[in-house]
Amino acid sequence: MSESRGVAIVTGSSRGVGAATVKLLAKEGFNIVVNYSKSEGEAKETVAVCKTLGAETLLCQADVSQDADCRRMVEETVKKWGRVDALVNNAGTTKFCAADNLEGLTKEDFLNIYGVNLVGPYQMIRAVAPHMKEQGKGVVVNVASIAGIIAIGSSVAYIASKAALIAITKALARALGPEIRINAVCPGFIQGEWLKDGMGQELYEAVKNHLEGTLPLRATCTPEKVAEAIFFFIRGADLVTGETLLFDGGQHLGKLM
């Protein structure tokens, strides 16, 4: 391994934003941990691409809602490369349920969504923190959502989990400096299979077209664009911590008159 290459863990990186992020990091000189919980085939495809871009890789099946899995993933990373320079908390889940459908979410739905979207990032940060502290620096990027800002999203549980993730981003940025910087990216509508599967093709296209016709920037997110925002926090923001980047084409500005 070239000691000049950084080491990055990206949770939920078999596809979508996570896959786009590891590919960008591989291209920019990082060795990569590709993490998945269920999508092994897609994860292996992502690993293969990262290798063609010059990265050493570690493929790690782990459920971030389980603390033992989080600690094991970090331990395997440090065992292989001796360090961890960047953590991207991207793994996420939801249940699509309209906000006015109060019977549509159970306690178990909330706990499952919180386990992945909020407890998972906390556990991953806890696992990497001693190593980042020891090496004198490290960076964490939490992939939150504009849903956590404007309270519009796939479900009330998802909205709440992302709002809470933004809050712990600030709390832990304050607590873990100066060695560790922690920031959050809040994408809006992200083009791709995750929303297509959850919304259905017809509604997905209708919402996408509406947003691209009305948002101030007339554009929605792609996984690759979100990856670029994540990379900014990793390599281009040495004096930024506790920040929340709204990355939504201007959706948070409200409805145009």
Could you read off the pLDDT of 129-168 as tens digits, one per residue? 999 999 999 999 999 999 999 999 999 999 999 999 999 9
Q: What is the pLDDT of residue 1?
A: 39
Domains of the chain: 6-189+222-248 (3.40.50.720)
How many angstroms separate the Cα of 225 from the Cα of each of 117, 181, 189, 240, 248? 21, 21, 12, 20, 11
Average pLDDT on 189-212 reads 89
56: which residues sit within 8 A by CB, 6+ positions away? 1, 5, 31, 32, 80, 81
Res. 256: pLDDT tops 60: no
Active site members: 158
Res. 192: pLDDT tops 90: no
Give the predicted TM-score (pTM) of the model.
0.95
Give, as one character, the DSSP assignment of residue 226. H
Interval 112-134: pLDDT, tens: 999 999 999 999 999 999 999 99
18, 11 in Cβ contact below 8 A? yes
Alpha carbon dihedral 13, 138, 189, 104, in 10-degree steps, equals: 80
Res. 2: pLDDT tops 80: no
SS3 5: coil
d(CA 203, CA 183): 32
Give, as one character, the DSSP assignment of residue 80. H
Q: What is the pLDDT of residue 255?
A: 67
Interval 30-78: pLDDT, tens: 999 999 999 999 999 999 999 999 999 999 999 999 999 999 999 999 9
